[in-house]
Amino acid sequence: MKFISTRGNDSALSAGHAIAKGLASDGGLFVPEYFPQVTITELEEMLNCSYAERATKVLKKFLTEYDEKELLSACEKAYSKFEDSDPAPIVKTDENFYIMELFHGPTLAFKDVALTLLPYLLREGCNQSGIKEEILVLVATSGDTGKAALEGFKNQPGVKIMVFFPSEGVSDMQKAQMTTQDGDNVNVVAVKGNFDDCQTAVKRIFSSKEINLELLNKSVKLSSANSINFGRLAPQITYYFSAYLDMCESGEINMGDKINFVVPTGNFGNILAGYYAKRMGLPIEKLVCASNSNNVLTEFFASGDYDINREFFKTMSPSMDILISSNLERLVFELSNRDCAITKARMDQLKQSGKYSIDEAGLEKLNEEFYADFCDEEDCLNEISDFFEEYGYVLDPHTAVAVSVANNFKRYTGDELPTVVLSTASPYKFTQSVLKAIGGKVEKDAFLCAEKLYSLTAMPVPEQIRSLKGKERRFNKVIERNETEKAVLEFVK
């Protein structure tokens, strides 16, 4: 299987090479040459398999040059870091309503599912493509990718990792997780700006010939742990398959039945993985794209116009506070019938004027596969509180956005199919907001809020949170947006 750039000017590469590279040289994103198919018979063969076995089967469809045995052992090792070695357990909360809990990994967010495996995929990708240089993984984070990537790559030989996060755009707990990170190959820097600023800066570094040359002189090559990297995306495809199979096993659905997935969306990586699963043949009816008040995607799905010239809101669901959803480029590429020139033109328009539009045919296609809506701050608080009252289940603010949109979806369309909401983070990463929602008095200190949350909900405080308290802060640097290049060069000095 070869990988091509959405913008067409980069030669086709093997999976390993595309993963090692992260972003195509023309600024485009790597996509598979075609969607490999998974038949119903193959799905049936995956029943009663472990998550790691299912992951291996799905991944192998794309990573054709990877050794299957090695891939399996890497998956087993990665997913042993999750509670019960299951990164995606399903909880049924109501008739035809399910929550897929993706937050039982080392850093309590769904990013762990991919980032526990990415170090192996990258190392192997470098080996396969003969890359001998040291790898510098650059990460822009809206809060959760940073910590998950740091945990995945810390103390890995031959790799350094540098994380940029928006100085005022993450929760206190997320900040504590990142700034106390251990490991001798890591660096964490706060940037004055929002996530889009961080992501734009990182992308600029990737496509800067001068910086890449300067790094190469020091025998360093860049790679990415953001979902622009196919190596991040691929492991996320698996849990859509696994959820479906789990529901077949437990008798909730029959093999071949269609179901919906509802995804709290920011950079469009998670939901795009669902779209890939659908294109591979998984019986998915609708993919529901849930946004917070930064509802640029909701508007895009309604009108076909993508326009980032709008107010940016800081919300309770900071990991979705994004206006430039990078992975949408991969979908725009599909909607144009894989036309690289059209995709490139649209992305150039986005860069120049902050907007672009897709045509009627593209919009029609979009609405066949997706439903999109958003949830504002007030509705998010209400959803956390209502859901806790009704089911005794505590939602984090991102998942609450998705549950609220799932309810709208059911109400407006009359859809009655089994619907799975992807739960992307533990409520303990956002203690102040969750406490506020369920009526506790909010303290300034995030750890105090965690204790209060425990006393109100009896939901145990995860060890990953308890052990953070009192941990020494190693990284205090705050830089301007235009100082990211300099920070990178200093780090590799």
The helix (run of H) or strand (run of E) holding residue 13 is strand 13-14
Buried b (16+ CB within 10 A) or exposed e, 294-306: bbbbbbbbeebeb
Show contacts with ligand PLP in window 281-320 (CB under 6 A). 319-320
Q: Which of 28, 119, 152, 266 binds ligand PLP (CB under 6 A)?
A: 266
Which range binds ligand PLP by CB under 6 A, 157-165, 245-253, 262-270, 369-377? 262-270
Amino acid letter, residue 11 = S
d(CA 267, CA 265): 6
The residue (of 267 and 407) whose beta carbon lies closer to ligand PLP is 267
Q: Is residue 226 within the footprint of ligand PLP (CB under 6 A)?
A: no
Give least dist CB 184 to ligand PLP, A: 26
The residue (of 178 and 320) whose beta carbon lies closer to ligand PLP is 320
Q: Which of 181, 265, 315, 404 binds ligand PLP (CB under 6 A)?
A: 265
Strands (E) across 257-296 are located at: 259-264, 284-291
Using DSSP's 3-state secondary structure scheme, residue 321 falls into coil
Q: Which of 17, 54, 111, 160 binds ligand PLP (CB under 6 A)?
A: 111
Decide if 278 is catalytic.
no
Give the tokens for residue 282.
Answer: 């998984």
Using DSSP's 3-state secondary structure scheme, residue 487 falls into helix
Give least dist CB 382 to ligand PLP, A: 19
Q: Is residue 166 within the footprint of ligand PLP (CB under 6 A)?
A: no
Q: Is residue 398 within the footprint of ligand PLP (CB under 6 A)?
A: yes
Q: Is residue 424 within the footprint of ligand PLP (CB under 6 A)?
A: yes
Give least dist CB 326 to ligand PLP, A: 8
Q: Which of 220, 425, 450, 453 binds ligand PLP (CB under 6 A)?
A: 425
d(CA 340, CA 346): 10
Give least dist CB 441 to ligand PLP, A: 25
Start-to-end Cα distance in the chain: 37
**Catalytic hit among 57, 69, 81, 111:** 111
Residue (of 191, 174, 116) closest to 320 by Cα position: 174
d(CA 401, CA 89): 20
d(CA 404, CA 425): 16
Give least dist CB 422 to ligand PLP, A: 8
Q: For strand 13-14 and strand 30-32, is the pairing parallel, antiparallel, or unpaired?
A: unpaired
Q: Is residue 269 within the footprint of ligand PLP (CB under 6 A)?
A: yes
Active site residue ranges = 111
Q: Please give the residue ranges that form the binding site for ligand PLP (CB under 6 A).
A: 109, 111, 144, 227, 264-270, 319-320, 398, 424-425
